[in-house]
Amino acid sequence: MTESMRSFSRSLPMALLKARESVMVRFRPELRAHGLTEQQWRVLRAMSAADACLRPMEMAQMTFISAPSLSRLLKTLESKDLIKRGHLTDDLRGSEFGLTETGRALVAEIAPHSEATYLEIERLVGAAEIEQLYLILEQIEQRLGAPTGADFE
């Protein structure tokens, strides 16, 4: 190579991953205490936010989880009675998923702990800095383009 590569410590993907890990390490204990993985929580959280049944492709796009991984996650969450499968009215071969009462109750139970973690992160990092981070991340997505379902693993 005639040009050297930037320093590993200045790799934007690695910096974002390290920051993500610094954040997620604070959420994992509560998820583990409820027998959930990060991806399972992401799916439950997306369903809760949508407040409606979702098709797998919609969930994949909302959660950035690949279709094969999502398929396994949905089976696991269904076996735990946290979500229920329904059939689409316009396509009986297709499925949609929604939270069960058990799933809603679990999200409601975890929500205050999640919010407390957000407040702790905000206290440590600073409210203005967190707001600035959200704005910068939104700008990056707008300027580089939002990822599509084909862009994630």
Q: Which CATH architecture has domain 26-144?
A: Orthogonal Bundle (1.10)
In this structure, what are the phi and psi dihedrals at residue 89, rounded to the nearest 5 degrees?
-70, -30
pLDDT at 13 exceeding the cut of 60: yes
- Cα pseudo-dihedral 98, 103, 104, 107, rounded to 10: -120
Q: What is the pLDDT of residues 72-121, one digit of tens each?
A: 999 999 999 999 998 766 666 678 999 999 999 999 999 999 999 999 99
pLDDT at 1 exceeding the cut of 80: no
Q: What global pTM score does this model have? A: 0.86
Tokens representing residue 110 in the block: 């975890």
pLDDT at 150 exceeding the cut of 90: no
For the chain, the domains span 26-144
In this structure, what are the phi and psi dihedrals at residue 26, rounded to the nearest 5 degrees?
-85, -25
Query: Is-contact 106 82, C-beta < 8 A?
Result: yes
pLDDT confidence tier of residue 7, bands split at 50, 70 and 90:
confident
CA dist 132 and 125 (Å) reads 11
CA dist 88 and 125 (Å) reads 44
Measured from the Cβ of residue 60, the count of other Cβ atoms closer than 10 Å reads 21
29-33, 62-66, 84-88, 116-120: least confidently modelled range: 84-88
Helix (H, G, I), strand (E, B) or coil at 96: strand
